[in-house]
Structure 1
Amino acid sequence: MAAYAGALPGARAAVLTRLWRGLAFDPLPWVERRERGSGTLALVLAGGGRLEGPLPDPYATGPYVDEVLLDGRPYRQAARLMAALGVRFGAESEARSGAEPGFGLGFGFGSEPGSGFAAELDGSTASLALSRAGQPARQAPPATVWEWEQRVVDGHPYHPNCRSRPGFSVAEQLAYGPEHRPLVELGLVAVRAEECLVTGEWPDHLRDGGRILVPVHPWQAEHVLKREEVRPGFAAHPLMALRTLAPAAGGAHVKTALSARLTSSVRDISGYSIETAAVLSAFTQALTERLDGRLHFTRTLGAAGAHSPDLAAVLREPPEAFADTAAGESVVPLGALAATPYARSAPWRADLARLALGVGLRLLDLGVALEAHGQNLLVVLDSAGAPLRLVYRDLADIRISPVRLVQHGVPVPPLSGRLVNDDVGVLRRKLFGSLVAGALGSTAGSAAALGEDLARATAELAPTADTGALLTGPLPTKALTLMRLSPGTPGDQWAELPNPLSAT
């Protein structure tokens, strides 16, 4: 309890900092304008209210917001601030429009999105304090990908729900959260083969005669799959994404369905993802020939789904397959870099940015936009820590442009649906928002550092329309706070951040 109490003030500041970033930059309909002062930012709210805090650095990862003022009243906890905003806008809009209680400004304040978000912010704060309190004073240097991933204590670097896990008890967080370093016992649910959609090669050890054995997370087994008979399975180490695990005995990583809201989304596995898994994996494998060995995609070995998105699993090639461990090479997710000495070296960060941008922009030009955030993108380091090449995993959220593929003579894969999009704005937002505003921004840790990294990294980039957009325009980022407050709006919503290159 003492360790938790000691971690709580820092956790409150970390979540409040993330929320303030969202309030400062997301296109929120109840913010009429934003006024910059000397080291401060004021949000003029609908109805004349005023929300004030420190001038935000959109790429900062360290907590720098201890307090914000709503009409002069101080708030130090994100949940209390969100609740106060909900009361204000719920009451004001009902008085103006006679709307149903709780649907302030058509934005959900006072109803589930607003009040639910406030509760999630409280949970995120408590969970983050628990995560920080459980860390050992000293840890041996990581030797595997899963050990690197379990070093990510604070979760998403910019999402106010960075550690929100609704539906998880404290005991379940300790038992399943990767930052607590548990060994998780996955179960197996047997499904008749004719009732199961399988793509790729499903291994023999996950078959039982005419049945497919689908790995399931124990939280899912207890809370969602209550009518299913769950057999004993195998032990695995949870990765940064919590629902994806590395078997303790080695072999393919297992992505499980987990019907709980983590950060913004419920993490099941759609039938669409199962249907497209094999085609998408084969397509990206063929693309690697055009990247001069700078990027490898982990293959999707097999995918299986039965009944609903709540009972499904995907088997992926482990990233270690692309590192020469005998030569001292290691594979590190970009999301784990911020806490390492590498991130404190400007020349090293510039080398990483040069590699990542060169690969990402080349693929974008060919017609593939990666969701290259800190979980999906990994870097192979040599024995001295220099970035050598990249590994990308989890293809479920990339975007493919048939028009661009045809222009470059790349065969168009037989795909349809949300993966396929020729809109240049959509393609650029996907890559720039995840890689630059996300992974590289959080590794740099500030606008000034990111600007220096990008200036060094982009000096030799080929002049293309995509490169020009990166160098001159504002940087897109997912409007995470807006998205959580407007769950009735499907798909991603976006904000624009100041481009740090303009100040370099």
Structure 2
Amino acid sequence: MPRPPAAEAAIAAELAVHRPDLGPRYTAELPGARAAVLTRLWRALTHEPLPWITAHDPSAETLRLRDGRRLHGPRADPFATEAYVTVVHLDDAAYDDPARLMTDLAVPHSAAFAAELAHSTASLALSRANRAAPGEGRPATDWEWEQRVVDGHPYHPNCRSRPGFSVAEQLAYGPEHRQDVRLSLVPVPVEECSVSGEWPEDMRDGTRLLIPAHPWQARHVLKRTADTGLTAHPLMSLRTLALPDGGPHVKTALSARLTSSVRDISIGSVLASATLSAFAETVAARTDGLLHVTRTPGAATANSPDLAAVWRESPQRYEAPGERIVPVAALPATELPARPGWLTDLARLCLTVGLQLLDLGVALEAHGQNLLVVLSEEGAPLRLVYRDLADIRVSPTRLARSGIPLPGLPERILTDDVTALRSKLFGSLVAGALGSTAGGRTALAGALEAALPDLPATPDLVALREQPLPTKALTSMRLSPGAAGDQWAALPNPLKN
């Protein structure tokens, strides 16, 4: 097979200029990065409702395409996180490169997606080449834990796709590269801004607000180069950063397509942030201390999605002495307790909280980036912390039944559709956060089977036990650029044989 693909060669050429010391390690990481992205792509091909795949024989793991061609690969585990797919066959041709496979599939919109896969593979190899050395010790802060997440999204083929970012920019801004980032503070007259909550006094300059802007955004979108700066630590989402010394987190606009989405901040989300924050505190109070939601003291926009920022309190305020707070996505990078039942304890805690809130009328998007767990000194899961309320779903009918007043929330997050509510929670928490922590179907099934009998037998729990498990159809969404909103796939229920 011809290689290196253009994206891999381009990053190698930039490394030769900016970090020649990383060149040999980058080259060594490329085969593993291709397998990691190919594994994620094979999950999508075998489990998502792609219209050009007309038949699937799971016993032989063979897919028949509409045009008569056949795809064949290893038996798929939709919850596996280790790269176990090294080759996929399209008829008689073998492919170890996901971008080449997608190019030769030649289905609608595959060319653009193939370019993203190539960039994801090359960027993943770069991230792995510059990962923290083993033995650096336990991180002392939440943001240091986040920077241990090297591979990005555990199931998205575009796990490390950062088009528009040069190698120098990836090394400077990617959280896994562990560099501090200098935010621009863009002065905007107050009368040209919309504000929710209280904007920090030290982020004002007379009659102007100082709105933090990511340096990539300042340079490429806002065309600014000389603003006052603010040093911060990049978190998993790259556009959200932690201020030093346990300070608040600031989410910035970033008009680049990272993984799936362009990361700007809508005016509507800014205006709703204070109301959503207060509402979430009200709901979390029903969990008897098992869940905390990080507050959003203030948000502002220059009436443009390209220049806006949201302030959130640090999750570390919910950490007591001797405890550590870790994003669920970072748990595989921790020294997980070896004792039997640890994964069951985590599943029981997460499902207790998630199902209780769902019954009250709130479906969290509790994937591994939004959901953090407070661990005891011995590593036992104690409590949960949730952040980023922008994509929750709220049921007015269930809230009314629970006696919780419905504030003026954005229409887009309101729904009484039980399928939409369950998909939001189960897709993010079970198929996402718990599935990736388990790392495979057998471990996930064992943890769920042990945890579920301890939970109230609500209709939602019955659905979790009996129905296929929803997950976002991430590849279908990337191959449907004209379709708005989420698309879903149904994974085999790990509790069913």
Q: For 1:489-504, what aligned pairs fall within 5 Å after superposition? A: 489-503=483-497
Q: Does 1:437 find its partner at 2:431?
A: yes
Structure 2 equivalent of residue 367 of structure 1: 361
Structure 2 equivalent of residue 328 of structure 1: 322
Structure 2 equivalent of residue 465 of structure 1: 459
Q: Does 1:480 find its partner at 2:474?
A: yes
Match of 1:302 among 298, 301, 307: 298
Match of 1:174 among 165, 171, 174: 171
Deviation at 1:115, TM superposition (A): 1.1
What is the CA–CA distance in structure 1 between the aligned matches of 2:303 and 2:477, rounded to whole Å?
Answer: 29
Q: Does 1:218 find its partner at 2:215?
A: yes
CA offset digits 1:93-116 (Å, max 9, x no partner): xxxxxxxxxxxxxxxx2xxx3211
What is the CA–CA distance in structure 1 between the aligned matches of 2:294 and 2:138, rounded to whole Å?
Answer: 24
Deviation at 1:344, TM superposition (A): 5.7
What is the CA–CA distance in structure 2 between the aligned matches of 1:416 and 1:340, rounded to whole Å?
Answer: 37
What is the CA–CA distance in structure 1 between the aligned matches of 2:263 and 2:330, rounded to whole Å?
Answer: 21
Deviation at 1:494, TM superposition (A): 0.2
Match of 1:232 among 224, 228, 232: 228
Q: Are 1:301 and 1:316, in contact at CA under 8 Å, matched by a contact in 2?
A: yes
Deviation at 1:204, TM superposition (A): 0.6
Identity percentage over the alignment?
A: 63
Structure 1 equivalent of residue 92 of structure 2: 72
Deviation at 1:416, TM superposition (A): 3.3
Structure 2 equivalent of residue 2 of structure 1: 24
Q: Does 1:161 find its partner at 2:173?
A: no
TM-score norm. by structure 2 comes to: 0.94
Structure 1 equivalent of residue 47 of structure 2: 25
User: SS state of the match for residue 248, structure 1?
Assistant: coil
Structure 1 equivalent of residue 283 of structure 2: 287
Deviation at 1:459, TM superposition (A): 1.3
With 196-205 and 334-343 compared, the bigger mean Cα shift is at 334-343
RMSD: 1.1
Structure 2 equivalent of residue 128 of structure 1: 124
Q: Does 1:142 find its partner at 2:162?
A: no
Q: Which amino acid aligns with 1:409?
A: G
CA offset digits 1:245-304 (Å, max 9, x no partner): 001244210000000001110000011110110000001111122100000000011110
Structure 2 equivalent of residue 52 of structure 1: 72
User: SS state of the match for residue 385, structure 1?
Assistant: coil
Deviation at 1:338, TM superposition (A): 1.8
Which ranges in structure 1 are unaligned for 5 or more consecutive residues? 90-108
What is the CA–CA distance in structure 2 between the aligned matches of 1:216 and 1:34, rounded to whole Å?
Answer: 47
CA pair 346-305 structure 1, distance change in 2 beyond 3 A: farther
Structure 2 equivalent of residue 106 of structure 1: none
Deviation at 1:428, TM superposition (A): 0.2
Match of 2:191 among 190, 194, 205: 194
Deviation at 1:229, TM superposition (A): 6.9
CA pair 346-77 structure 1, distance change in 2 beyond 3 A: farther
Q: Are 1:343 and 1:443, in contact at CA under 8 Å, matched by a contact in 2?
A: no
Deviation at 1:139, TM superposition (A): 1.6
Deviation at 1:230, TM superposition (A): 4.9
Q: Which amino acid aligns with 1:6?
A: A
Q: Are 2:232 and 2:242, in contact at CA under 8 Å, matched by a contact in 1?
A: yes
Q: Does 1:392 find its partner at 2:380?
A: no
What is the CA–CA distance in structure 1 between the aligned matches of 2:434 and 2:48, rounded to whole Å?
Answer: 20
CA offset digits 1:26-50 (Å, max 9, x no partner): 100000010123xx41110001110
Structure 1 equivalent of residue 19 of structure 2: none
Which ranges in structure 2 are unaligned for 5 or more consecutive residues? 1-22
Q: Are 1:337 and 1:343, in contact at CA under 8 Å, matched by a contact in 2?
A: no
Match of 1:119 among 107, 115, 121: 115
Match of 1:244 among 220, 240, 243: 240
Structure 2 equivalent of residue 103 of structure 1: none
Match of 2:61 among 32, 41, 50: 41
User: SS state of the match for residue 315, structure 1?
Assistant: strand
What is the CA–CA distance in structure 1 between the aligned matches of 2:118 and 2:260, rounded to whole Å?
Answer: 15
Q: Does 1:449 find its partner at 2:443?
A: yes
Runs of 4+ in 1 over 3 A off after TM superposition: 343-346
Q: For 1:384-423, what aligned pairs fall within 5 Å after superposition? A: 384-423=378-417
User: SS state of the match for residue 163, structure 2?
Assistant: coil
Deviation at 1:368, TM superposition (A): 0.2
